[in-house]
A and B are shown apart, each in its own frame.
Chain A
Amino acid sequence: MKKQILFVDDEPLILQGLKRMLRGLRSEWDMTFVQSGAEALEKMVGAPFDVIVSDMRMPEMDGSQLLDTVKHRYPNMVRVVLSGHSEEEMIMKTVKSAHQFISKPCNAETLKSTISRMFALREVLTQEGLKRLVSRIESLPSLPSLYTQVVELIQSPNSSIKKIGEVISKDLAMTAKILQLVNSAFFGIPRQISNPAQAVGLLGLDTVKALVLTIGIFSKFEQKQLAHFGIETLWNHSIKTGAIAKKVADKESADKHLSDNAFMAGLLHDVGKLVLVANVPDKYEEVIETIKDQNITLNQAEQLVFGATHADVGAYLTGLWGLPDAIVEAVAFHHRPEICLSNDMIPLTFVHIADGLEHHGNGTLSMEAPILKIDYGYLQKLGWVEKIPEWLKTCAENKEEGKNDG
């Protein structure tokens, strides 16, 4: 079936322009163009769309009101803002109701690729219920101690961007959100930034302050603790995986960008777990019980309970939020890198290795006790199997360093 997409703008010439510009895609996309929010809502009744692209300021119902309504009525729909306004107020208004932001004027490629990516994403996660769940998420809960630290830093008169960035990059929730903002074309910043400190710097301290203190784009983990799932453990594992991914990347002389991306992707690779634990804790408890009862892997258990894995959920979220493709890819395939046919070093490579090393890293490892979680076939393809002992050493050093830090 063709993808259904709805464009809303009060300026008819804009709509006509878009229609012509996107004409080349008419065999793949079914495009509808309407001039007001009311008309848009009317069109949606009975004929759901996959994606809505809306202008921000319009008479009567403005874009943020429209997207808010859509969010509640049709949570599955991907919501994109296409606006010529760069006023802070508008950004602040839509940050919670839109998944992605594009600023006018934008070129054909940006628009086409943003929308195409959204469509591709629909295939990643097929469970409608989960899609709905992820689409509704405005922010992920942070570890309370890190959240408090960031809020304090932001209010303190002598805080620096660097310090704030450092704390944010210890927290998967805040990292994901800040990358969403900075990678949107709304802020007029070139896409694909994957370093929180850089992101805070680009957004500007004042904007970040307003976003955090008045809009509340970050939040704190407040759900009851699960019996069998430690939030701290997830954070620990995430930070370590990020650190190891970066270490290994540096060791294999990856360039700075790749190594940054490897860190970020490592930090975020299990973000799907956070989504599930925070939103459907009881079901996640069920997953863990199933593992024990039936003696199966986590992925199998998740499939049984949700019909999808945390990797799928994480990929859907990071994709929906417009994070860099390399990160989305790493999140999506961190358990099965072989799906990716490339033999190049990409963030996925390092995340997969780091995840394996870290999950296993608590026991002592030797070549005799094979590391189950690493895909040897994939490593063989890269010709990297022999490197494992060396990485293990690196990991051990990492652990030592960690101890010294206290």
Chain B
Amino acid sequence: MAENILIVDDEKPVRQLLEKILKKAGYHCTQAANAADARRCLEDQIFDLILSDIVMPGESGIDFIRYVSKGYPDIAAIMVTGIDNIQKADEALRAGVFGYIIKPFDEAQILISVHNALRQRQLKIENRQYLENLEKKIQERTDDLRESGKQLKEAHVKATRLLASITSIIIALDLEDKIVEWNRCAEKSFGLTRDTVIGKKLSECPIGWETEKVLREIGLCKTSGQRGTLDDVRLTQQNKKERLLGISFNPVLGVSGKIRGVLIYASDITKRRHLESQLAQALKLESIGQLAAGIAHEINTPTQYVGDNTRFLQEAFEDMDRAFKSYGQLFEAVKKNAVTDNIIQEVEKVIRETDLVYLIEEVPTAIGQTLEGVERVSKIVRSMKEFSHPGVDERTSVDINKALESTITVARNEWKYVADMKTDFDPGMPLVSCSPGELNQVFLNIIINAAHAISDVVDNGSGKKGIIKINTRSNGHSVEIRISDTGGGIPEKIQPRIFDPFFTTKQVGKGTGQGLAISHSVIVEKHGGSMGFETKMGKGTTFIIQLPVLSEGM
């Protein structure tokens, strides 16, 4: 079934352009010229997604989206606006927006954002349904429990078992925030045993999550008696692993209907987020399509000069043939001992006219460059094959140097106008067990990031090309890849955020902010390696990747 999209914008041409793009992609669209109009549409139809302008006469797009996310939480929203303003973006994101598109936009941007938002929404709905189911089940059990005094004991055992077997965190608090229930999953996730926490206040427990946010939500739940949720709560476990939790806060009502406490369900959504980023990665792989234009250019260049040189060789051959014939005549004359001044002059004339001396010097070079051109084309084709390695997920023994080489080649058109490439590869690199397709994707992203960083400095003044340096080293157990650029560096303020999904400082169309998030998960999660960076403002940045030669546990 086609998704139903509501387009809200006060400018008719914008609405129509959006509708045209979306219709072509098979979505169903409805237009509204302002928020009031849009509110009416919401009453008549069910929508999956809203694309809304920010600045409109009447209610602003952001207020409208706030209204939507309260009343219609299942509708995803994307802001489309002419205002290029981080603050507004933040405000919009807080209002529950999935994406943010700045006018003017192009078709691809729209389609990618819509596709992403719809996918995110789907995942969110599924997750909620899952949680709700779970809650229902527990509620049923709890009801049973309350209902039959006879089966109390048995039920208690069941409930405990159930609580233990549930793979979500379950914590029950009384009105004073003292912990009354703490299941096995909670023990595991927080590294705190049931015995040590029961009876303690939640705020007193050393849990590495966003405590303030959680406590605020518990307070809200208690005062309002309403269910509340928090998405994407960060948890740093004791082993320093980062997890993401989706948490719901449920009021527990006594027989009288009065609140007795709060039940907290939290599920680990890290995996799901990874799934999402893998999906994103699938999208990324399509980005080879983006490289295609550059690769075509890389191939067009040698094709041009191979053609030119061959054409020259053809003409040169004709000239040489002429010279050869005239020498032939001279030879015949010599044999017959009948050499005349005429014949000699003729030979001289031909040599002069055909520029024979030049030809003899030039033809070998032309042949050499032709062969070089052919080699260049086949190298590109070979690299493309290696780069888009079939079976992305398959682990094989990979020659990292070669993988880097082919990534550098396919991406050449992306960096060559702004930077020179310097490589220093350890010839003794061992083969590394990994999935080459994914690894290439990581290298590609870092190289392109480097090119972008340099291009910003080049555009802003110096005009001179920068340098991208790639080193590899190995100590036998692990390998290290360092990719340095001479760009502007990463400002301290954004350093902690660059690995976040969808964090980008680039213009729409140039970056989606998924590159480093995906790279990080590929290197750390999938390959048990590490990934970090060193940076100095005004000097440049080095990304450092370490990979175990034999990745453990996979």
Interface positions of A (Cβ within 8 A of B): 11, 13-14, 16-18, 20-21, 23-24, 57-60, 62, 84-87, 103-108, 155, 157, 206, 214
Contacts and interface: CB of A to CB of B under 8 A. Distances in A.
B396 to A, nearest CB: 34
A313 to B, nearest CB: 35
A17 B367 CA distance: 11
B130 to A, nearest CB: 41
Given A23-B312, A107-B311, 15 more contacts: A13-B301, A13-B372, A13-B373, A18-B305, A20-B311, A21-B307, A59-B418, A84-B296, A84-B297, A85-B297, A86-B296, A87-B293, A106-B304, A108-B311, A157-B20
A17 B465 contact: no
Given A13-B373, A155-B13, A157-B16, A57 B417 contact: yes
A108 B308 contact: yes
B464 A16 contact: no
Contact of A21 (B297, B302, B311, B463): B311
B551 interface: no
A84 B300 CA distance: 6
| Closest 8 pairs between A and B when the two form their complex, measured CB to CB | A17-B308, A17-B305, A84-B300, A20-B312, A21-B308, A105-B303, A105-B304, A84-B297
Given A84-B296, A157-B16, A104 B308 contact: no
Contact of A17 (B104, B304, B315, B417): B304
Contacts of B464: 60
B521 interface: no
A370 B496 CA distance: 89
B242 interface: no
B309 interface: yes
Nearest to B303: A105
A48 B464 CA distance: 28
Nearest to A62: B417
Interface string B275-313: 000000000000000000100110011111111110110
A20 B463 contact: no
Contacts of A104: 300-301, 303-304
A315 to B, nearest CB: 31
18 contacts: A14-B301, A14-B304, A14-B305, A17-B304, A17-B307, A17-B309, A17-B312, A20-B312, A21-B307, A21-B309, A58-B417, A59-B418, A60-B465, A84-B297, A84-B301, A105-B303, A105-B304, A157-B16
Contacts of A14: 301, 304-305, 308
A18 B366 CA distance: 11
Interface residues of B, number: 34
Interface string B62-105: 00000000000000000000000000000000000000000010
A172 to B, nearest CB: 28
Contact of B307 (A11, A105, A157): A105
Given A23-B315, A60-B463, A108-B308, A17 B19 contact: no
B533 to A, nearest CB: 26
A23 B315 CA distance: 9
B362 interface: yes
B315 A24 contact: yes
Q: For chain B, what secondary structure do more than half of its interface residues adopt (helix, strand, loop), or is it mixed?
A: helix
- Residue of B300, B304, B366, B465 ringed by the most chain A CB atoms within 10 A: B304
Contacts of A103: 300
Contacts of B465: 59-60
Interface in B510-543: none
B305 A13 contact: yes
A90 to B, nearest CB: 10
- Residue of B20, B300, B308 ringed by the most chain A CB atoms within 10 A: B308
B416 to A, nearest CB: 8
B369 interface: yes
Contacts of A155: 13, 16
Contacts of B104: 214
A299 B464 CA distance: 54
Contacts of B302: 13
Contacts of B19: 157
Contacts of B309: 16-17, 20-21
A214 B309 CA distance: 40
A2 B501 CA distance: 61
Nearest to B462: A60
A125 to B, nearest CB: 31
A21 B312 contact: yes
A254 B20 CA distance: 42
Contacts of B308: 14, 17-18, 20-21, 108
A148 to B, nearest CB: 15
Interface string B183-202: 00000000000000000000
A11 B301 contact: yes
A347 to B, nearest CB: 32
Nearest to A15: B305
Nearest to B15: A157
Nearest to B363: A20
A57 B415 CA distance: 12
Contacts of A86: 293, 296
Contacts of A58: 417
B362 A20 contact: yes
Interface string B454-498: 000000000111000000000000000000000000000000000
Interface string B23-60: 00000000000000000000000000000000000000
Given A21-B308, A21-B312, A105-B303, A13 B293 contact: no
A20 B307 contact: no
Contacts of A60: 463-465
A16 B361 CA distance: 14
Contacts of B418: 59
B417 A59 contact: yes
Interface string B353-397: 000000000100110010011000000000000000000000000
Nearest to A155: B13
Interface string B409-427: 0000000111000000000
A164 to B, nearest CB: 15
A21 B310 CA distance: 8
A400 to B, nearest CB: 41
Given A20-B312, A104-B301, A13 B307 contact: no
A184 B7 CA distance: 39
Contact of A16 (B293, B297, B369): B369
Contacts of A23: 312, 315
B291 to A, nearest CB: 12
A87 B300 CA distance: 13
A17 B369 contact: yes
A180 B409 CA distance: 36
Contacts of B373: 13
A105 B302 CA distance: 9
Contacts of B303: 104-105
A67 to B, nearest CB: 17
Nearest to B365: A16
